[in-house]
Structure 1
Amino acid sequence: MELIADILMISGTLAVALYCMVLARRLSRFTDLEKGVGGAIAVLSAQVDDMTKTLTKAQKTAAGSAGRLGSLTERAEDVSRRMELLIASMHDLPEGPAPVETSRQPEAEEQSEQETFFLSQRGRVEAAE
Structure 2
Amino acid sequence: MQIFADALMGMATLGAAIYCFVLSRRLKRFNQLESGMGGAIAVLSAQVDDMTKALNRAQATAAGSAQQLGAVTERAEQAAQRLEIMLASLHDLSDEDAEARRHRTVRRRARPANVEAAE
The interval holding the TM-score normalised by the smaller chain is 0.5 to 0.7
Q: Percent identity?
A: 60
- Equivalent residues in 2 for 1:94-109 (5 A)? 94-96=94-96, 105-106=105-106
Report how far residue 38 of structure 1 moved: 1.6
Determine which structure has greater relative contact order: mean sequence separation of CA pairs < 8 Å that are 6+ residues apart, divided by chain length.
1
Report how far residue 11 of structure 1 moved: 7.3
| CA distance 1:83–1:24, change in 2 (3 Å) | same
Q: What amino acid is aligned across from residue 41 of structure 1 in structure 2?
A: I
**Partners of 2:9 and 2:71 in 1: CA distance:** 86
Alignment RMSD (CA, Å): 3.2
Q: Match of 1:22?
A: 22
Q: Which runs of 5+ in 2 are unaligned?
A: 1-6, 108-119
Report how far residue 20 of structure 1 moved: 3.8
**Partners of 1:37 and 1:45 in 2: CA distance:** 12
**Partners of 1:77 and 1:8 in 2: CA distance:** 90
Q: Match of 2:81?
A: 81
Q: Structure 1 length normalisation: TM-score?
A: 0.60
Q: Structure 2 length normalisation: TM-score?
A: 0.64
Q: Which runs of 5+ in 1 are unaligned?
A: 1-6, 108-129
- Report how many residues are paired: 99
Select the structure that is richer in helix. Answer: 1
